[in-house]
Amino acid sequence: MCRHLGYVGPAVPVGELLVRGPHSLRTQAWAPRDMRGGGTINADGFGVAWWHGGEPPVTRYRNPAPIWTDPAVEEVLPHLESTAVLAAVRSATIGMPVERSACAPFLHEQWAFSHNGVVPDWRTVSSAVLSDLDAAATRAGATRLLQTGDLLEAESATDSAALWVLLRRLLDPAAPRDLIASPLAALRLLVTTVVTHAPAARLNLLLGDGASLWATAWEHALSALVTDDYAVLASEPYDADPRWQSIPEHSVVRAEPGLLTVESLNNDPVTERAV
C-alpha cells in the first residue's frame, strides 16, 4: 500500500522532506516496513504538494515513475521551500491504472489529499456512498450536496480519486454544519459510510490545508511526530526520534504544531495529547 507524509511547521526545503531520515519516504518506497499485506514496494509513482500563499494556494509535482528514479527529488525540489508539505509514494492496487493522474496528492482549492489503502469494488461502493451522503445532507437541510455525475470528476479511475470527489464535497463551505462541523467530522463521516458498504476497505486518508493536517488510521499504519514547533503525520516514522507516537487503529487525528487530537472512529472519547 502506498505510504504518505504530511508536514506543517517552519519553512523546509520540499525535497528535503522526501529524503529526511534513515527511513525517509523515498526509502519507504522501496523498503517499507509495515505494508500489512498490501503489496511489497511503492514503485508506481509519487507526488508532493506544497503551500506557498499564492494563487492557487497549493502546487504539486507528480511523476508515475518510481520516486528513486526521479532526479528532481535531489536537483529541483530542494530549492523550493514551504511551511506545509504533503507527499505520497504509490503502489497501484491491482486493476487500477498506473498514470500520473492517479498519483496523490489530489488537490482542490486549499486542500491536498492522499489515500493509503483500497476500497474493494470501488465503483459500486463509491456510488452507494455518494447516495448515502447526499441523503444525510438532505436530512440536514442541504439540497443536492452530491449528484450522481460527480464521480465522473474523478481525476483517474481509482478508488482514491473517487474518495477525493466525495470528501471535497463534504469539505465544501455549503455542506451542512450540523452534519459536517469540521474536516475531522468530514473524514469520520466518509470513513464510517464507506465501511458500511465495503467492510474490508483500508482507509488511511491524509488531508492538509497548509496550516493543519488531518488523517485516519483504518487498517493501516499511521504515526505522528508533534512538537511545539512542527507536526508530522506519516505512514511510517522516518527516523528513531522517541517522540513518534503510533496512532491506534480506527482513529481520526488532527495535527498542528503543539497539538495532536486523536479521536476514535469507534465512538470512544476524544483524547487531546500533550506534546
Residues labelled as active-site residues: 2
Q: Which is nearer to ligand GLN, 61 or 122 (CB)?
A: 122
Q: Which is nearer to ligand GLN, 92 or 224 (CB)?
A: 92
115: left (phi over 0), alpha (psi -120 to 50) or beta: beta
Q: Which is nearer to ligand GLN, 35 or 260 (CB)?
A: 35
Q: C-beta of 65: minimal distance to ligand GLN in Å?
A: 15
Residue type, 36: R
User: Which residues, in sequence order, are CB contacts of 11 under 8 Å at separation 6+?
Assistant: 81, 82, 83
User: Which residues, in sequence order, are CB contacts of 204 under 8 Å at separation 6+?
Assistant: 1, 4, 115, 116, 117, 215, 216, 217, 218, 219, 220, 221, 222, 235
Q: Which is nearer to ligand GLN, 129 or 180 (CB)?
A: 129
Q: C-beta of 204: minimal distance to ligand GLN in Å?
A: 8
Q: C-beta of 45: minimal distance to ligand GLN in Å?
A: 9
Q: How are beta strands 251-256 and 259-264 bridged, if at all?
A: antiparallel
Q: Which is nearer to ligand GLN, 28 or 93 (CB)?
A: 93
List helix spans (H) across 20-71: 25-30
Q: C-beta of 163: minimal distance to ligand GLN in Å?
A: 9
Cell, residue 105: 496528492
Q: C-beta of 91: minimal distance to ligand GLN in Å?
A: 4
Is 95 exposed, middle or buried, given 0-12, 13-18 or 19+ CB atoms closer than 10 A?
A: exposed
Helix (H, G, I), strand (E, B) or coil at 66: coil
Distance of CA 215 to the CA centre of its chain: 6
Residues that bind ligand GLN (CB under 6 A): 1-2, 38-39, 90-93, 96, 102, 115-118, 158-160
